[in-house]
Amino acid sequence: MTNMQTELSATDIDSYREQGFLVIEELLNEEELGTWREAVGNAVVDHELSGRDLDPTQSDYYDRVFLQRVNLWKSNEAVRDLVIDERLGRLAANLAGVQKIRLYHDHALIKKPWANPTNWHADNPDDPYRSPEATMLWVALDNATTQNGCLLFLPGTHKRDDFDSAGPLDEANIGGFIEAHPELAEVEPATAEVAAGAGIFINGMVAHAAGANMTSQPRRAFAMLFIPGECHY
Task: Please write the tens of the pLDDT for every residue from 182-223.
Answer: 999 999 999 999 999 999 999 999 999 999 999 999 999 999
Percent of the chain with pLDDT over 70: 92
Percent of all residues in the chain with a pLDDT value above 90, rounded to a whole number: 77
What pLDDT does residue 153 have?
98
> What is the pLDDT at residue 51?
47
**Span 4-18, mean pLDDT?**
95
How far apart, in whole angstroms, are the C-alpha atoms of residue 72 and residue 69? 7
Per the CB < 8 A criterion, the answer to whether 106 and 71 are in contact is yes
Dump pLDDT digits (tens) for 152-177. Answer: 999 999 998 778 755 667 778 999 99
Asked if the model's pLDDT at residue 91 lies above 90, the reply is yes
pLDDT, position 166: 56
Mean pLDDT for the chain? 91
Report residue 26's pLDDT band, with 50, 70 and 90 as the boundaries.
very high
3-state secondary structure the chain: CCCCCCCCCHHHHHHHHHHCEEEECCCCCHHHHHHHHHHHHHHHHHHHHHCCCCCCCCCHHHHCCCEEEECHHHCCHHHHHHHCCHHHHHHHHHHHCCCCEEEEEEEEEEECCCCCCEEEECCHHHCCCCCCCCEEEEEECCCECCCCCCEEECCCHHHCCCHHHHCCCCCCCCCHHHHHCHHHHHCCCEEECECCCCEEEEECCCCEEECCCCCCCCEEEEEEEEEECCCCC
CA-CA distance, 230 to 220, in Å (whole number)?
Answer: 32
- Higher pLDDT among residues 129 and 137, named by residue: 137
- What's the pLDDT at 5? 86
Write the pLDDT tens digit of every residue in 40-62: 999 999 876 554 455 555 667 88
Q: Model pTM?
A: 0.93
Q: What gap in Å lies between CA 148 and CA 193, rounded to an integer? A: 10
